Each structure stands twice: as structure tokens, then as C-alpha cells.
Structure 1
């Protein structure tokens, strides 16, 4: 059976699979070529360099994050975008260090950033507050995902099982022990459940600042 022809899209898709399996450090023209079953040199007809491939991967992430729509309620749009970004970045954590680091942002990257600002500006946000909102929302989402994907839990391990393993150490830290006793023990606690509460705090703060003019 003949393989479909190479294209920039197929090369970037293959790079995303390599990154999912081996992290961003595992992405090279050679590893992507192996994923596609071709020689690395053949990729250069479609992607100019490894740097261009990383630009394409950043765009690949942005294509998958829900883009806000100007003219719709800004808070609901920002909330939906935050949930979408969390889901995409949790599924592809190699994107965390990549998506805001590219010196040559691609078309999906630029469209996404413009749409976020456009949604806020259409709602009446001044330019400065729109920029602050964009920054704080991304800082919250990216920081939450970074923590979430690096928690020291084993697959299937509950938070309560983890803190049980800390044993006497907890007794030496009374405020931490108090929080665990009240929030974790017997409550089927999951760190991911904190996301909506924290996001609401951020959006409440932005809403109050916006309303104050």
C-alpha cells in the first residue's frame, strides 16, 4: 500500500506524535522521519528546519484550543478557552514551554491571540486591562497544568493514599495537616477539582476591575 504524500501538515502531525511519546527533546528531523517511514532529508522539502518544525508544533497546539468569539459574553468565552487550553495542554504537556516561546509565531498562534484580545475589546475592556486579563488567565491556566501534570501520584492513586504515606511528617507541619484533614481525608479529593474554583477567582477579580472602570 502506498503512503499518502508528505505535506507540512503531515510532518507536524508526526512531530506531535513523537513529542507525545518522547517529549519535546525527542523531536528531531530524524525521529519525525522515522515516524513517517521516510528519510529525514525528505522532510526538508516541506519544513525548512527543526526550528520551523517547532513553530509548526506551537501552531498545532493553538489550532486545538478553543478560540473566543468577539460579541459574545466575555466571561463565558474566557472560561471556555481556559478549559479548552487546560485539556489540550494536559494531553500534550510538551506544549507548555513551547507555545509562548516562538520568535516566529504561526498563523494559528497569531489568530488566537488576536481573537482573545478582540473578544475582550469588543466587551469594552480598555487595551491595558485586556492585556492584563490575557496575561493573568494564561499564567493561571499554564501554571495549573504544569502542577497538575507533575503531581507525584502514581496511576490510580488517590490524594488520600498519597498523604497517608507521609505519616508522621504531617504532624510536624500543623497547618498542612489541618488542611489535609479538612479538605482531603474522606472527601474523595482530586487536585483537578481546584481548577474551576481558582478560575472563578481570577474571573471575579477581572470582572470587578472591569466594572470599576
Structure 2
């Protein structure tokens, strides 16, 4: 009889990697201790040693995605400060597009993953090394908002409020408000995202992300000078 293949030992890292894979495939609503245990081939109770409750699990999943961003971005290379930050932010966006549920999850966490502080320390060091004062660098961090993590957090998002982001539903809504708000209607109709344009929210497309990023970097460059 052939020996049974041995499973790798259960660890916090292995559990969280499986949790991220589960959410990638089935969405955040599918993430439960029971479902995760099935995917790992273990009893649900064995997970609680590593992650004692659902909130701790979600914190760990958020932390895992942030760590993926930090690893993908890597240390700054010998480029102009604008080129460094642009590359970092767009690399972070690539990670978020692989996990499109992550921006919403990060916005619900009560604690900030430790990797975020280390990542922003690196960004701050890039700005100071590029000739910024701490005051202007501080203002730059506020202006960037969530862009360093690869997405632009919108104030209003129909999906997060239980609404729809479907194009047909949007067109029906536009028709209903066209007479009362002609300019807003015309703008939204003109700017509906193409199906091929990666999005991470109602008003976060790749084109808009890069436009805003370049606008901020160019404006900060003028202030720095």
C-alpha cells in the first residue's frame, strides 16, 4: 500500500493563504471557519488555535493582502522620487486588482495592519529624499489618500450601500434623473467605464487612477520647487 501523502503542518500563514484563496474564488460572504476548514482538510476547531474568531480572521486576511503589496512593491530603486512613487502605487494597484474585495475589507478594519505603517514610512522616506519638507510630505500623504495602496476610496459607492453597479441599471437611473440634473447625467453617461477598464469601485478605473496620481505628483513637484 502506498503511504498517504502528508499534509504540511497547519500554521497561521497557511490558514490565511487559504482564506485569501477562498475569498478570491467565492467572495467575502463565503469566508467562514467551517468552509475554510473544509478547504484545508481539517476540523474547524483546529483553526481557532491560530485565529480565535471571525474578526481576527478578517484582520489576518487584510494583513496578508497588505503584506503582498509590500512584497510586490519592494524597496525603492535609484529613480526620481515621482517615478518611484508612481511605480509603487501602480504595483499596489496590480495586487488589489487580483483581490478586488480587499479595498472594501480594509475599510472595515478597526486596526491598521502593521505593514501599512512600514509601507508609508518608505513613501515618506522617498518624499524627504526627494527634497520635501516634513510639512509638505505630511500634506502629500493626506492628498494621496488610499492611492498608495492601489485604489481610490470613493465617498459614494452603490455596491457598498446594497445598490447596483450594473450598466443597464445605471442607464435606467440616468433616464429617471436626466431632466432634473442634466449636467450630472451627461457626465455619468459619458464616463461609464468600459468593460475592459479595470475598476475597484464605482468611480475607480485605471484611467482615473493614473490621471489623479499624475495630477498629484506634478502638483507636488511644483510645490516642492
TM-score normalized by structure 2? Answer: 0.68
Q: Which has the higher helix share?
A: 1
- Residue 136 of structure 2 is matched in structure 1 by 129
Whether 1:199 and 2:213 are equivalent positions in the alignment is: yes
Shift in Å at residue 169 of structure 1? 4.4
1:55 to 29, 54, 59: 59
Task: Give the aligned length.
Answer: 203
Alignment pair present for 1:39 and 2:43: yes
Trace 1:1-213 onto structure 2 (pairs within 5 A). Answer: 1-20=5-24, 21-23=26-28, 26-47=30-51, 49-65=53-69, 66-67=73-74, 69=76, 72-99=79-106, 101-103=109-111, 105-106=113-114, 108-140=115-147, 141-143=151-153, 152-154=164-166, 163=171, 166-167=174-175, 169-179=177-187, 183=190, 192=205, 193-211=207-225
1:139-164 deviations in whole A, cap 9, x for unaligned? 4533269859879554xx6x9x9648
SS at structure 1 position matched to 2:132 = coil
Aligned-residue Cα RMSD (Å) equals: 3.8
Give unpaired runs (5+ residues) of structure 1. Answer: none
